[in-house]
């Protein structure tokens, strides 16, 4: 089978010739740029010192170039964004060195300023004349959002403030996506997954709006979660208008790109934590689920795309609701969280929703286990999740920084050995 055939067979709950494999196909199945560099060096794909592009400056994800895709047997390619989460384009590349010395390439407007303690500040749209929007702690590997929340005055709250970042997609962006998808569909045999802006409702990573120079409305993490209960009507109005805008954008996008996507990333909103849910099942059903049904329903009625949802944590109690809301794919399967046992998940839900992820624990096994531990876990997850189809192998979330290279190599060898 071609990669595209293999993925689409799995997405239809059929067993392909071998289990599809994804690294870098979505914003939550990538690899830290420092690890991409280490892997490319280990595989002798580059000369020492050859920098790696940072394609997601927030998560510091590295580019998975075509030669690495082929070397690893990856089956999924992600569609490149027009703008990143800091609001500037991935263009005008320049050299930049990570705290650990890894040589990288970052976009031209990736402008940072050191604080007195060595932390690095990042600026929205690369504009250093406005307050910073994110911080990378000294010696760190990632940026953390800086909360720029103004005092909340309930009588003055306006939903337009929390809708500033949502609007009609620009023709420039539609043209970009059409060009990219046409090229990938014609010149590769890979399945294509796209993550279009504006679909995710209440994704806490997006609430601070790090790409806006002066965000208004509710922008603080804690205030947002509190507002789900105390300002329910306000949040519901935001979701209603955001969904309307998103569906109009999807209609225009589909008209331009057609059915060349295998999957579309709908939401990255986390509903779980390590030991249970972040919100009650009733709140998901009353507030989020109706809008998820609305978005997924439009996609299923008008396209052949499969709908992809990401939620970290212990979400077993909501999986039936995710299925009823119309999601085709669940990621990342955080198997280290409570009640997320692989065998139980496969037995209870595996014939009704595709599992994308869960292949190796990125909290413990991959960073701290032995090479043998890594191989054993990959083998077990392939056997459990892959039986009967409906599974795409990927790690539990992005491959993080500081993974022992020998464990990463063990992971890749095990994937090749046990995928079928």
3-state secondary structure of 76: strand
Tell me which residue range forms the domain holding 271.
Answer: 3-92+149-418
- List CB contacts of 206: < 8 A, sequence separation 6 or more: 85, 165, 200
Let me know if residue 188 belongs to a domain: yes
Write down the pLDDT at residue 80: 82
Q: Does 222 have pLDDT greater than 90?
A: yes
Let me know if residue 143 belongs to a domain: no
Write down the pLDDT at residue 276: 97
Write down the pLDDT at residue 133: 98
Start-to-end C-alpha separation, the chain: 12
CA distance 270 to 309: 10
The CATH number of the domain holding residue 193 is: 3.20.20.210
State mean pLDDT over 376-382. Answer: 98
Let me know if residue 365 belongs to a domain: yes
Distances from the Cα of 233 to the Cα of 125, 164, 229, 270, 338, angstroms: 32, 18, 9, 21, 32
Write down the pLDDT at residue 81: 84
Say which DSSP state 277 is in.
B
Let me know if residue 124 belongs to a domain: no
Let me know if residue 101 belongs to a domain: no
Question: How many domains does the structure of the chain reveal?
Answer: 1
Let me know if residue 288 belongs to a domain: yes
Q: For the segment 67-82, what is each residue's pLDDT rounded down to a tens digit?
A: 999 999 999 999 988 8
Respond yes or no on whether the N-terminal peptide bond of residue 332 is cis (omega within 30° of 0).
yes
Let me know if residue 142 belongs to a domain: no
Percent of the chain scored above 90 by pLDDT?
A: 99
Q: Is the pTM of this model over 0.85?
A: yes
Which residue has 């085709």 as its token pair?
A: 328
CA distance 278 to 280: 7
Distances from the Cα of 349 to the Cα of 171, 329, 353, 358, angstroms: 40, 11, 6, 14
Let me know if residue 224 belongs to a domain: yes
CA distance 248 to 361: 38
Q: For the segment 83-100, what is each residue's pLDDT rounded down to a tens digit?
A: 999 999 999 999 999 999
């Amino acid at each position: 089978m071609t990669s595209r055939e293999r993925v689409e067979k799995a997405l239809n709950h059929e067993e392909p010739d071998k289990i599809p494999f994804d690294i870098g196909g979505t914003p939550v199945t990538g690899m830290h740029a420092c690890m991409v560099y280490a892997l490319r060096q280990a595989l002798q794909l580059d000369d020492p010192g050859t920098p790696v592009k940072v394609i997601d400056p927030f998560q510091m994800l590295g580019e998975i170039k075509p030669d690495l895709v082929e070397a690893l047997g990856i089956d999924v390619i992600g569609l490149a964004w027009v703008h990143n989460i800091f609001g500037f384009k991935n263009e005008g590349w320049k050299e930049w060195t990570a705290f650990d010395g890894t040589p990288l390439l970052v976009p031209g407007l990736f402008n940072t300023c050191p604080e007195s303690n060595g932390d690095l500040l990042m600026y929205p749209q690369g504009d250093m004349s406005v307050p910073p929007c994110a911080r990378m702690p000294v010696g760190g590997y990632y940026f953390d959002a800086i909360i720029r929340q103004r005092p909340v005055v309930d009588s003055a709250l306006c939903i337009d403030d929390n809708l500033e970042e949502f609007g009609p997609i620009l023709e420039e962006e539609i043209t970009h996506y059409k060009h990219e998808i046409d090229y990938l569909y014609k010149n590769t045999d890979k399945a294509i997954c796209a993550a279009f802006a504006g679909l995710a409702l209440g994704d806490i990573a997006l609430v601070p709006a790090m790409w806006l120079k002066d965000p208004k409305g509710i922008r603080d993490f804690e205030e947002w979660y509190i507002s789900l209960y105390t300002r329910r009507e306000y949040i519901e109005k935001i979701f209603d208008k955001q969904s309307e805008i998103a569906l109009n954008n999807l209609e225009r996008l589909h008209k331009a790109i057609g059915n060349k996507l295998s999957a579309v990333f709908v939401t990255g909103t986390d509903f779980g934590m390590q030991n249970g849910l972040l919100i009650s099942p009733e709140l998901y059903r009353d507030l989020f689920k109706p809008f998820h049904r609305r978005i997924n329903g439009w996609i299923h009625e008008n396209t052949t795309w499969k709908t992809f949802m990401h939620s970290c944590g212990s979400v077993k109690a909501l999986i039936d609701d995710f299925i009823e809301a119309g999601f085709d794919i669940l990621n990342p399967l955080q198997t280290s969280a409570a009640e997320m046992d692989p065998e139980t998940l496969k037995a209870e839900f595996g014939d009704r929703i595709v599992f994308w992820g869960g292949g190796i624990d990125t909290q413990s096994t991959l960073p701290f286990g032995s090479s043998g531990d890594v191989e054993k876990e990959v083998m077990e997850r392939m056997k459990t999740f892959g039986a009967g189809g409906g599974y795409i192998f990927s790690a539990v979330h992005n491959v993080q920084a500081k993974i022992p290279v020998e464990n990463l190599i063990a992971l890749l060898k095990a994937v090749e050995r046990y995928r079928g």
